Amino acid sequence: MQQVTSKPHRRLSSEDALALWKEYRRTEDRALRDRLVLTFAPLVKYIVYKKVREMPARCEVEDFISCGLEALIQSIDRYDPVKGATLEQYAWTRIHGAVLDELRRQDWAPRSVRRWERDMEKAADEFTTLHGRRPKTEELAAAMGVTAAELRRKRDEVTQSDVTSLNTTVMSDDETTIERLDTIASKDERLDPIHMAATDEAKTKFRAAFARLPRREREVAVLLYVKNMTLAEIGDILGVSESRVCQIHGAMKKTLRAALDADEALFKAVA
């Protein structure tokens, strides 16, 4: 199979994109759709990286790019030129909406907490620019016009709202960066037989569900999450387009969610 990811595609005019789309709809030739995907793929990265500064640190940019690529593929299949928008305009709207939906889905925190988080980051950056170092808690509180106690309370709210990786780095009061795991009082749950049994059961159920995945989906999972490769790199290895890798990844996530849905409480308990 000839690979279509090796050469960058020039920006198509609206007329050329429409002509290519019409040819794809007439022939259902996947190679033509892949060309459209590759042509408009830069839109995905542009939109995602525009939103990066609004994303909590816990969010993985690659997840949003994958989500955006899925929306791009759907926009090509659902586009209707009769409604007046160009294909690029329609794709932009679908991608932007999908990225926002994914951001809301991943973020459980109230908007007020995220606003405080952005305000703290902005004040800290301004202080660093002026003084050449990160501010201490009291200095940051003064810059924001609040007490140190209130700032600590807001920091705690931001930390508690972050429900993902405990390996995320945070700023301590003495200006050093530490992992969030080190800020949590240890209760040594590993010594709790009930928790240990639940953890083992969760691992067993996940491994069983993973083993039932199609071979190609398992390959994509290993390359993405173990080897830390990009979608494009995985496509090169598997000999498929980046959009196809995106589809495989999406199918894998849906299959695992369905297989483990009945044990949601168990996985939350050991997360």
pLDDT of amino acid 5: 43
Q: Which residue shows structure tokens 């496509």?
A: 235
What stretches of 28-110 show up as alpha helix (H) in DSSP? 30-51, 61-78, 87-106
Answer whether 134's CB lies under 8 Å from 85's CB: no
* DSSP three-state, residue 212: coil
By C-alpha distance, which of 57, 43, 32 is closest to 97?
43
Lowest mean pLDDT among 5-9, 11-15, 115-119, 121-125: 5-9
What pLDDT, on a 0 to 100 scale, did the predictor assign at position 165? 41
**What is the predicted pLDDT for the residue at 125?**
82
Beta partners for residue 171, in sequence order: 177
CB 182 within 8 A of CB 216: no
What digits encode the pLDDT tens for the residues 205-233?
Answer: 888 888 888 988 888 888 888 888 887 88
Residue 153, number of CB atoms within 10 A of its CB: 12
- Largest CA-CA distance found in the chain, in angstroms, rounded: 66
Tell me the pLDDT band of 65, cut-offs 50, 70 and 90: confident
> Which position has the higher pLDDT, 186 or 66?
66
Where residue 183 falls among pLDDT bands split at 50, 70, 90?
very low
pLDDT tens figures, 5-45: 434 445 678 888 899 999 999 998 989 999 999 989 898 98
